Amino acid sequence: MNVKLIYHTKDYHKLVESVMRICYQSYDKENENSHKSVRAIMAKGHLSIASVGNMVFELEFNNKNYSDMLEDLVHMQEINQFIKWTNPYSSKSSGKFHVSMNMLTFLDLYKNIDMNDDHNETFYYMLEEVNKVPELRWFYDKTVELPGSVNQYSGKGCPELYEPIVLDEDYTKLKALGLNDYELGIHATITMNFVTDRAISLQLWRHWSGGCELSQRYVERSNASFRLPLKIDKDLAYSLKTTNTMLSNTYDYILRHCEKEGIRKGRAKEIARSILPNGTLTQLIQCRPYRNWMHLFKLRDDKHAQIEAQEDVRAIKRVLHEIGVKVD
């Protein structure tokens, strides 16, 4: 059996840190060595920040070890359903197994697979490959220290409404490595950073993805903008703006009242956010397999979808098209 790590997200630890900074609005704490705080956050159980990015393995086999490899992969999927693999004996797949997962899935397998069990040989070889990459091994081996560096993902800036940012994609890279269209749908991922409103964010999470959303504990009325529905007249727009101003004042009143009652700040925000309207803007980081993005586009870039959702999805399609990702 031959197992090879053919692709991994570059500076994976920096991508995870960037997601963490977005969710917890802690940009001011970022520096060349601040990725170390990722370990502390994940140790507390906040693991979703590692559900972005990708690792892709190529597995070569012979007829003798094919069934053992297949059994190993099934066992991995029993532990964590988000591992993805394609079978070379399928007419839709190439002549080799390809297996992909994000760091969160890999860590789950690492913690729960018995490495002394001969039936886990495939994962053992995968682990050997990951061990060769310090920035990957860093997530589970505390003896590994990484040098400080600028975070390329944070350097991409902050998204605006209808102006999403691609944090990471491997569609073009895996295509260049020879994966066919079917395999790209399964294994290629896109990590997108974008702004939408709370109502649309609920719709988008229905289409499976990994990722995070701006923590609502960190919403302040000073930075929580409101999106007016599209294609409405001036009178209705004025009414909505007036209502939003009233809610904003109520939000501030709740915070002041909680402070007076000695309620801690984080809990006060949890209470106050209960009156935030669905039109309040939020920020999402979503990492989906390419096929899942296509499913989202099909359903939300459609005349039957909510108009605001259509515009959000078209903005995402536009930026993907610009970097060479097939979106139609």
Per-residue pLDDT of the chain (328 residues; tens, 9 = 90+): 899 999 999 999 999 999 999 988 889 999 999 999 999 999 999 999 999 999 999 999 887 788 888 999 999 999 999 999 999 888 899 888 999 999 999 999 999 998 887 778 999 999 999 999 999 999 999 999 999 999 999 999 999 999 999 999 999 999 999 999 999 999 999 999 999 998 899 888 877 667 788 776 666 665 578 888 998 899 998 999 898 888 888 988 999 999 999 999 888 988 988 888 888 889 999 999 999 999 999 999 999 999 999 999 999 999 999 999 999 8
How much is the pLDDT for 216?
Answer: 65
How much is the pLDDT for 317?
Answer: 97
CATH topology assigned to domain 189-328: Gyrase A; domain 2 (3.30.1360)
Which class for 200: exposed (0-12), middle (13-18), buried (19 or more C-beta within 10 A)? buried
- CB-based contact 254:268 (threshold 8 Å): yes
* Element of type H or E holding 58: strand 55-60
Which one, of 151, 237, 156, 241, lies nearest residue 194 by Cα?
156
Distance CA 291, CA 283 (A): 23
Which one, of 8, 287, 5, 23, lies nearest residue 135 by Cα?
8
How much is the pLDDT for 210?
Answer: 77
For the chain, the maximum distance between any two Cα atoms, rounded to a whole number of angstroms, is 73
Same fold flag, 2-157 and 189-328:
yes
**CA angle in degrees (0–180, nearest 5) for 53-51-92:** 65
pTM, 2 dp:
0.90
Name the one residue in this structure whose structure tokens are 């892709």: 56
Distance CA 160, CA 26 (A): 18
> 2-157 sits in which CATH class?
alpha beta
Distance CA 232, CA 75 (A): 53
Distance CA 188, CA 185 (A): 6
Q: Where are the domains of the chain?
A: 2-157, 189-328
Distance CA 154, CA 150 (A): 9
Which class for 22: exposed (0-12), middle (13-18), buried (19 or more C-beta within 10 A)? buried
